[in-house]
Amino acid sequence: MKSLLPQNPNTGIAFREENLKEIYIAGGCFWGVQAYYSRILGVKESISGYANGTKENPTYEEVCTGATGHAETVKIVYDSTILSLEDIVERFFMIVDPTQKDRQSHDTGTQYRNGIYYLDESEKEIIERMIESKRQNYKNPIVTEVEKLKCFYEAEEYHQAYLDKNPGGYCHVSFDTLKD
């Protein structure tokens, strides 16, 4: 089956380590979030995983119970000379409903909450300013978590690049905002 996903524009780019930064995006099921961000110019890698919970090295099954406190999250490693944090956050608002608590589309549970997890306090200011600028666009309050990253565990291999491996797989994310 041919993939309906846009091509990844980052293949062949020689990223320089000194320009790389990380941000962690939770936006419901991580399959679509991972596939979406991997196709934005300047993203070196996007890795599905579990963030900001209480259990070390949780499994997917454990996270799905809601008992671990983890959110399905995508670690985004990006080149800050090509892509800004503001651009990443702007894209976040294109693929999630930030007013939905503990869910996105048909997925429900605390593991599907939306959030942006940062490493540096200066990033928090940028994220909060971006969220504030979006508030007038929504009837309901924005419930996006903005927290310092406490922990991140990579998801199982079968969750990595899931939509590339399973072109007909479930996805709540629209890829319409990506340019060819």
The angle, 0 to 180 degrees and rounded to 10, between the axes of the packed helices 85-95 and 30-38 is: 140
CA distance 37 to 163: 12
- CA distance readout (Å), 39 to 5, 91, 101, 153, 162: 9, 11, 26, 22, 14
Q: Which amino acid is at 133?
A: S
The first and second tokens of residue 1, run together, are 């089956």
Q: 144: which residues sit within 8 A by CB, 6+ positions away?
A: 92, 96, 98, 114, 115, 116, 131
For residue 170, pLDDT beyond 90: no
pLDDT of residue 15: 94
User: What pTM was estimated for this model as a whole?
Assistant: 0.94
pLDDT of residue 101: 96
For residue 164, pLDDT beyond 60: yes
Q: At residue 78, what are phi and psi to the nearest 5 degrees?
A: -135, 155
Q: How confident is the model at residue 1 (pLDDT cuts 50, 70, 90)?
A: very low
CA 141 to chain CA centroid, Å, is: 20
Residue of 9, 63, 52, 39 lying closest to 171 (CA atoms): 39
- CA distance readout (Å), 17 to 14, 21, 81, 115: 9, 9, 11, 26
pLDDT digits (tens, 9 = 90+) for 21-59: 999 999 999 999 999 999 999 999 999 999 999 999 999
pLDDT digits (tens, 9 = 90+) for 73-103: 999 999 999 999 999 999 999 999 999 999 9
Active site residue 29: yes
The domains found in the chain, sorted by start residue, are 18-165 (3.30.1060.10)
The first and second tokens of residue 71, run together, are 């959110």
For residue 180, pLDDT beyond 60: no
For residue 9, pLDDT beyond 50: yes
pLDDT of residue 2: 44
The first and second tokens of residue 113, run together, are 């909450």
Q: How confident is the model at residue 161 (pLDDT cuts 50, 70, 90)?
A: very high
